[in-house]
Amino acid sequence: MRLEQVLFSQGFGARRECRALIAGGRVTFDGVPLDDPDAQVDPVGKSFAVDGCAWPYFEKAVIAMNKPAGYECSTKPKFHPGVLTLLPPPLRVRNVQPVGRLDEDTTGLLILTDDGPLQHRLIHPKRHVKKVYRVTLKHAADEGICARLLAGVMLADENELVAADGAELTGETELMLTISTGKYHQVKRMVAAAGNRVERLQRVAFGRFSLPADLPEGKWMWLSGPSEILG
């Protein structure tokens, strides 16, 4: 692959802008300075740097973010900043999108990707990809709330019971809830239907991938690919 194409595919601007970066001596590939935009390179498993900032090559971007409160998971946010503003320009240029949505006040693990088929696999209801949430409850609860959530609760505008895949009390007012569907405000509505109220909500796992304890809110990290989420 030509070095110009590598930069272009990774979101570093239009082709002429990528050529200018390389010709201007601002790019190294696998640690070696290159100033020929047409230089042939094999980017798989390699990294390059622009102005000294290292960037790994991924044909498709898959990243995990620790979403803070106060951000909307939308490309056209209405009332709060969008989560995409927390990403560097190259990822925004290559059209990385959130996989599903977390409410503005919900924090925790958000997967973003420019891989359309992967996004479809992760959110399609028939795939049953599990998501785990740490729920802070308004009122102290007992095991009865877990039994109700596991048996299924009736949500407004639904015609059948919606059940959790897992529910475990980890404190008087803390619940770990696992679901594999993605209905509107689902966790909040399920908890309300079970007789309580959500005070705070954090997603802690998506598929096989768990939110790293050392990933600060508002920061993101590369994933190696779909296998980290789907196995």
Residues known to be catalytic: 103
Going by their DSSP bridges, the two strands 27-29 and 198-206 should be labelled as: unpaired
Alpha helical stretches, state H, 72-184: 89-93, 116-123, 143-151
Alpha carbons 180 and 193: distance in angstroms, whole number: 18
Residues 6+ apart with CB under 8 A from 216: 66
- The HSE-up count of residue 122 (CA atoms within 13 Å, CB side) is 29
Going by their DSSP bridges, the two strands 27-29 and 47-50 should be labelled as: antiparallel
